[in-house]
Amino acid sequence: MNGFGWPLARFILLRLLYSAIVLLGVIIVVFLLIQVVPGDPVRIALGTRYTPQAYDALRHASGLDQPAFTQLVHYIGNVFTGDLGVSFRDNEPVTTTLLQRLPATIALALSAIVVALVISIPLGTWAAMREGRMADNSIRVLSQFGISVPDFWMGILLIAVFSTALGWLPSAGYRPLSAGPVPWLEHIVLPAITVGAVTGAIMTRYVRTAVLEAANAPFVVTAQSKGLSRRRILVAHIGRNALVPVLTISGIQLAALLGGVIVVEVVFAWPGLGKLVYDSVAARDYPMLQGAILLIAAIFLIVNLVVDVLYAIIDPRIRLS
């Protein structure tokens, strides 16, 4: 492997090593945080089912009767083999529950980021190309309004209009794509618009800034002096150079959405990771909470890795050696 191939492969390997180190740190931090939480998690988890025998059995099954360092070593080993423990609440393997919830989160995150891109790219570009004019000022005010509106309020408003008043769409629930495209689309429209509109308002400002920086670069002035058309300059020069920061913010927002939008998922009874975290906190289900946090951290690392690689491929100025 030579030329561009080896530097890119080396870059990916270094990023993978970095991600593994960060994930190990997250595992240790999550483990220690659970250890210092006030109260006895086993006693809390049992609730009214508490008996000395049940307490000892659950404590032994969870490995909590061992020294803390031994627990940590076993926990790290189990995590890297895919064993995240057993839920205190429903006695189901944490890994199984997480894998069941993940498709709903992925569906909502991808749908929302598509909505956000459809909103932010045209509006941000339009505002940048008309800097200081009425269109620019109007879009900036609109995006600020979108950022300021709480997503749960927007979700409740959409439910009130399209579910309660008009009866066009269901107010809650989730249908997998395997159940048919129409039921899937009916259930995902409102949550995706709720999350995507707020995310799109945030991204519009970044798109505007990225396009402005590219439009004011010397190479654009050179392209204009050569008599290139406005459309060609926008697509081939401004758009290409604005793509990198837009890709970066899109990756950050996608990673955040894949981590679960807790309030929106609760409003729409969406069975994703965000609602799972909420339910786990309410039930003091620490193994499930640990597993969900680790999965969210892994998702962040994977998305950031993909964005870094795309960044290196798109931008020729990146030095991979």
Cα–Cα separations (whole angstroms), residue 184 to 105, 165, 204, 236, 269? 13, 21, 28, 37, 15
The pLDDT assigned to 227 comes to: 64
- Confidence category of residue 303, pLDDT binned at 50, 70, 90: confident
Give residue-wise pLDDT tens across range 257-270.
876 678 888 888 88
State the amino acid at position 34 in one-letter form. I
* Helices then strands, each counted (H, E), the chain: 14, 0
The domain defined by 103-272 carries CATH number 1.10.3720.10 = yes
Cα–Cα separations (whole angstroms), residue 54 to 88, 149, 300? 12, 47, 37
The pLDDT assigned to 45 comes to: 65
Bigger pLDDT: 65 vs 117 = 117
- Confidence category of residue 115, pLDDT binned at 50, 70, 90: very high
- Exposed/middle/buried for residue 46 (C-beta within 10 Å: 0-12, 13-18, 19+): middle
The conformational region for residue 50 under phi > 0 = left, psi -120 to 50 = alpha, else beta, is beta
Bigger pLDDT: 273 vs 90 = 273
Q: What is the mean predicted confidence (pLDDT) over 150-168?
A: 86
Average pLDDT over all residues of the chain: 79
What is the percent of the chain where pLDDT is above 70? Answer: 80
Contact between residue 194 and residue 158 where contact means Cβ atoms under 8 Å apart? yes
Give residue-wise pLDDT tens across range 60-69.
776 666 777 8
The pLDDT assigned to 292 comes to: 87
CB atoms within 10 A of CB 218: 7
Contacts of 110 (CB under 8 A, 6+ apart): 254
- Confidence category of residue 321, pLDDT binned at 50, 70, 90: very low
N-terminal to C-terminal alpha carbon distance within the chain: 14
pLDDT of 289 > 80? The answer is yes
Q: What is the mean predicted confidence (pLDDT) over 154-164?
A: 88
- Confidence category of residue 55, pLDDT binned at 50, 70, 90: confident
3-state secondary structure of 93: strand
Residues 208, 231, 226, 132, CA torsion sign: negative
> Token pair of 26, please?
């997250």
Contact between residue 236 and residue 95 where contact means Cβ atoms under 8 Å apart? no
The position carrying tokens 């749960």 is 152
3-state secondary structure of 82: coil
Bigger pLDDT: 299 vs 282 = 299
pLDDT of 99 > 50? The answer is yes
> Token pair of 62, please?
């969870």
